[in-house]
Structure 1
Amino acid sequence: MKLVKYILGLAGAALLLSSCSKLEDINKNPNESEQVQPDYLLTNGIKQNVDTYWGNDAAMETSLLYVQYWAKIQYTDPDRYIPAATSIQTVWNNFYAQGVADFTKLIELGDTLQNPNYKAVGIIMRSWIFQVLTDFYGDIPYTEAARIERYLTPAYDKQKDVYLGLLTELKGAASIITPAANPISGDILYNGDMNKWKKFANSLRLRIALRISDKEFAAAKAVFDEIGTDDASLIVSNSDNAQLVYQASPNQNPVARNRETRNDYRISKSVVDKLNSLNDPRLTIYAAMPRDTNKIIGVTNGLATDSASRLGFNKTSDVGAVFTATTAPAVLFNAAELLFIKAEAAQVGLISGNAATLYTQAVTTSLKQYNVSDANVATYLSQASVAYNAANYKQSIGDQKWLALFGDGLEGFAEWRRLDYPKLPAAFTGNLSGKIPLRLTYPSSEQALNGTNYKAAVANQGADALTTRLWFDKE
């Protein structure tokens, strides 16, 4: 009798397993791939992370205001240095969940598919994201990030170690690129041109090397010694700019998407005043003419909401169409920045070369990015107010680099902190006792879910406050 029951039990179990197997088969989508496709992953990864970089939380409500490219004309709390908790959280979540995780997967797929170009692109994009994160927050999860199966609560790496790690990763990525073989698909940044990806990787290396040069000069010089004068492997032409060119809705520029339903932003008075003082031909490119006036008018940063709204929506200048149009490109790295990097590097002894000549090339390249005529470029450069001043190179480079990075809030914010130029006034009714933010605070989720490592990072870096100076930002 026991044997009969045992046999019946086995039969029942077999029937149950067979039913489960059939149920799984029924629930499978025959049209859905069980393997992640690298081209789809790459397209989505680039789009989602560039959207974050140029979007509401990382740019419009924070960095663009802090570095005074934009100002707010209504709902002005963010312009008064009172960021929304959702903005802080969204930047962190998007870059880690949609960026670091996706590109880590692409790196793994590159190995699985034996295609080093997918792997290289994954490393380059992930390194760019980590660079943005550490520029914004300081110490961040780096070596243990995107490995949730091993590190549910990842430790924070010191900012110095993040930068040095990224220099190593980017060098490795550039070295495995094979332009003549292993084609990739889904590349909406460079259309599969691996020579341009190599230029992007090497240009990022110089960006990071210069950023750490005040603290780690020898490490920075080693990078410049290797690639600093190799223009063939760097972004020195606007045709090589790392930028995502947007398309029609629903793939429009996030700034354009914002303008479809909101009217919160204007160009900052700080930018307008600087452009006017230099007779800069970029004024009518960077700023739009108000509907009710024939004069470009910027808005003071950090006005109280009632004061800002009284200025009039149709009497103040929005940002120019070159940034707000549906198909306006989102720039991650432009040639002018690279030439400014080289100018400063020549000035401080990181490379040989004439700093003034490189500075002139950088300013020219920025103007030509917006199709300023040769005659107007020559007139602009002939002004004493624009001429390179080696005795105060940080002001010359700082002012012009700030203008050249207009619209690229995160990079402009980082370089303004490092160079301390231009000299910007604090928000008119700012919430920081006359100070300007120097970083973004960590999201509250880190305190709740990764508390031990969060506390260790704060103990190392300093108070989790907007005014805490980051490691790279030498006083």
Structure 2
Amino acid sequence: MKLKYTSIILSGALLLSLASCKKELSDINQNPNATQNPQPDYLLTGATKSTADTYWGIANNMDASLLFVQYWAKIQYTDPDRYIYTNGSFQELWTTGYSKSIVNLNKIISLADAQANPNYKGVALVLRSWVFTLLTDQYGDVPYKQATNIQQFLTPAYDAQKDVYFALLDDLKAAQASLDPSGKAILGDVVYGNNITSWKKFANSLRLRIALRIADREPEKAKQVLADVQAEGSGYISSNSEIAQFGYLDSPNQNPISNLFDTRDDYRISRTIVDQLFALNDPRLPIYASPTKDATPKTYVGIPNGLLVGDAANLGFTKTSKPGTYFTAPHAPAVIISYAEVLFDRAEIAARGFSAENAEDLYNQAIKASFLQYGISGTPVDTYLAQQTVKYDASNYKKSIGNQKWIALFGQGLEAFAEWRRLDYPQLKPAVAGALNGKMPVRFIYPGTEQSLNGTSYKAAVAHQGADVLTTKLWFDVN
């Protein structure tokens, strides 16, 4: 894997241009030690890794979304688990998304046009669409149109969430048209090893995800997206071997979760997910959770979310379970879209009447795919599916799919947070000592730097969307 962080170089150039606000000065203030002609393969590797690191890392995953959806809980420093944040707590996703990921992916697109290599352009558009999806899913209204030309728009306007989703669907359609397995080769792809056929499936799977984001608000648009995907013909991710994910290496390029657990001991698995897995006799429990260090009657012990510091510590560090070693291993992948998710999405599309597929069959396939993702097959899967509490309920597809999708998305905090808000299942209870008057977070707050550096655009976004607080529902979150 080429881990040459050209993204840092470009981010530095961006900061110089922002500080000078004059093209002439930005041209003069060139770093003599940095290349002014970056190569697309290095940019692609760097942009993918920087995005994966923040997607799977502390600020957005471990200290936020994994807590919100009650996969993890805190046994020390419990403020995030109680929904207590500063205006800088959610800075990382914004900063990395715009100044590293999007800037570098935009550069790849321009280089691809200059070098007449549409496959680089298609891959960059897919990744950029994923980054923008992460941003709008969490914050709501975000800069999109003007953010793709930061040199011209130093204080970009925010676009409404609906408009961002619609624009991303257009971008993904354009990406699909650019991607050609028979076209010029690419390098630097650490997701699919430069396999363009897989990128076409990834693009369609992301289109499917976004189609469901808008389905409650814009069902006709969602149907049109699905018709376009079907007409295009490349299909979706169709096996666990095609999962879109970033694979990590040994230190210093190990999984961010592994890196954290090398030095810290303040996270445990949530009682909510442990209790649910026990109730369903779910064989994924020993994968999602580690046995307690000291012997306990249940072996796996989760802790309630949002305890006061003293109450959390009193549960005992050696008598409560950390997340499973599968997720804390150095090489544990950062999953972007799994095969199980695609099957759940197709099941929901069928349940909504948007396709002629069999929703129940796809639902069962999705559960099997999740089990197989962790090497579980055969009798345990059949026994699990036979339970009345697991069987598909056509009268309440959101409950069936929402509950099982939540279990299958374990570890993917940002995606699980979005789907929990959209489907309203599982029905989670707020943190024990939560700071939101009995409510739960339903968005990230904007970084404080937006108020000081992009105040006019920030104020317009708040006026359109609602108060910049954790409890303001976003456009896609209907119920």
Q: Which amino acid letter does the alignment assign opposite residue 358 of structure 1?
A: L
**Partner in structure 1 of residue 163 of structure 2:** 161
- Matches of 1:281 and 1:328, distance apart in 2: 19
SS state at 1:266 partner:
strand
Does residue 126 (structure 1) correspond to residue 128 (structure 2)? The answer is yes
1:459 to 440, 460, 463: 463
Q: How far 1:34 moved relative to its partner? A: 3.8
Instruction: Determine whether 1:100 maps to 2:98.
Output: no
Q: Equivalents in 2 of 1:28, 1:251: separation in Å?
A: 27
Contact 1:253 1:327 (8 Å CA) reproduced? yes
1:349 pairs with 2:337: no
Work out whether residues 66 and 72 of structure 2, in 8 Å CA contact, stay in contact via their aligned partners in 1.
Answer: yes
| 1:326-345 correspondence runs (5 A) | 326-345=330-349
2:379 pairs, out of 375, 379, 400, with: 375
For 1:232 and 1:103, the matched residues in 2 are separated by 23
The Cα shift of 1:226 comes to 2.6
From 298, 305, 319, give the equivalent of 1:301.
305
Q: Which amino acid aligns with 1:79?
A: D
* SS in structure 2 of the partner of residue 204 of structure 1: helix
Q: Tell me what 2:9 maps to.
A: none
What is the CA–CA distance in structure 1 between the aligned matches of 2:210 and 2:293, rounded to whole Å? 42
What residue is the counterpart of 2:4 in the other structure? Answer: none
Deviations 1:337-386 (Å, cap 9, x if unpaired)?
01001101101111111111110111111111011121111111111111
Q: Distance in 1 between matches of 2:378 and 2:303?
A: 31
> Could you state the TM-score of these two structures normalised by the residue count of structure 1?
0.92
SS in structure 2 of the partner of residue 224 of structure 1 = helix
Tell whether 2:436 aligns with 1:426. Answer: no
Amino acid at match of 1:415: E
The 1:313/1:361 distance shift into structure 2, 3 A limit, reads same
TM-score by length of 2: 0.91
Fraction of identical pairs, as percent = 54
Secondary structure of the residue aligned to 2:335 is strand
Per the alignment, residue 366 of structure 1 pairs with 370
Alignment of 1:78-93 (within 5 A): 78-93=80-95
Instruction: Describe the superposition over 1:77-131 as per-residue Cα deviations: whole angstroms up to 9, x where unpaired.
Output: 0000012443311221111111111111111111111111111111111110000
Q: Give the alignment partner of residue 269 of structure 1, picking from 268, 271, 274.
A: 271
> Which of 435, 438, 443 lines up with 2:447 in the alignment?
443
Compared CA separation, residues 179 and 275, structure 1 to 2 (3 A): same
SS at the partner of 1:298? coil
Aligned partner letter, 2:451: Q
1:228 is displaced (CA, Å) by 5.2
Contact 2:136 2:161 in 1 (8 A): yes
Distance 1:236 1:178 in 2: 19
Between the aligned partners of 1:149 and 1:161, the Cα distance in structure 2 is: 22
The question of 1:249 aligning with 2:251 is answered yes
Give the distance between the partners of 2:140 and 2:254, measured in 1 at CA. Answer: 31
3-state SS of paired residue (1:157): coil
Pick one of 193, 196, 199 that aligns with 2:198. 196
Which of these two proteins has the greater Rg computed from alpha carbons? 1
Q: Which whole-Å CA distance do the structure 1 matches of 2:74 and 2:111 have between them?
A: 43
The answer (yes or no) to whether the contact 1:78–1:84 under 8 Å persists in 2 is no
What amino acid does structure 1 have at the position aligned with 2:338? N
User: Which whole-Å deviations, capped at 9, do the CAs of 1:371-404 have from their partners, x for residues lacking one?
Assistant: 1121111111111111000111111000000011
Is residue 45 of structure 2 the alignment partner of residue 47 of structure 1?
no
Shift in Å, 1:149: 1.8
Question: 1: CA distance between counterparts of 2:198 and 2:238?
Answer: 11
Which residue does the alignment assign to 2:16? none
Structure 2 letter corresponding to 1:170:
L
**AA matched with 2:219:** F
Shift of residue 202, structure 1, vs aligned partner:
0.5
Q: Which residue of 2 aligns with 1:139?
A: 141
Q: Tell me what 1:314 maps to.
A: 318
Amino acid in the other structure paired with 1:211: R
Instruction: Give deviations 1:271-323, integer Å, cap 9, x for gaps.
Output: 00111111111011100001102410001000001111111111100110111
Instruction: Tell me if structure 2 keeps the 8 A contact 1:299–1:316.
Output: yes
Q: Distance in 2 between matches of 1:112 and 1:231?
A: 29
Residue 117 (structure 1) aligns with: 119
Q: Match for residue 473 of structure 2?
A: 469
CA contact (8 A) 2:200 2:234 kept: no
Structure 1 stretches (4+) deviating beyond 4 angstroms?
228-232
Please say if residues 87 and 445 of structure 2, whose CA atoms lie closer than 8 Å, have aligned partners that are also in contact.
no
Partner of 2:20: none
Mapped contact 1:225–1:351 kept (Cα < 8 A):
no
| Residue of structure 1 in register with 2:18 after alignment | none
Please name the residue that 1:35 is paired with. 37
Amino acid corresponding to residue 218 of structure 2 in structure 1: E
Equivalent in the alignment of 2:3: none
Structure 2: how far apart are the matches of 1:155 and 1:102?
A: 20
Give the one of 280, 283, 287 matched to 2:282: 280
Are the structure 2 counterparts of residues 230 and 304 from structure 1 closer, same or farther at C-alpha, using a change threshold of 3 Å?
Answer: farther
Structure 2 residues not aligned, in runs of 5+: 1-27
Deviation string, structure 1 residues 8-44 (Cα, Å, up to 9, x no partner): xxxxxxxxxxxxxxxx9xx966xx6441011111111
> Is this contact kept in 1: 2:368–2:377, CA < 8 A?
no
Query: What corresponds to 2:210 in structure 1?
Result: 208
SS where residue 295 of structure 2 aligns? coil
| Gap runs ≥5 in structure 1 | 1-23
The answer as to 2:44 corresponding to 1:68 is no
Q: Distance in 1 between matches of 2:447 and 2:294?
A: 41
Amino acid at match of 1:181: G
2:400 aligned with 1:387, yes or no? no
SS at match of 2:342: helix
Which range moves more in the overlay, 405-414 or 236-245? Answer: 236-245
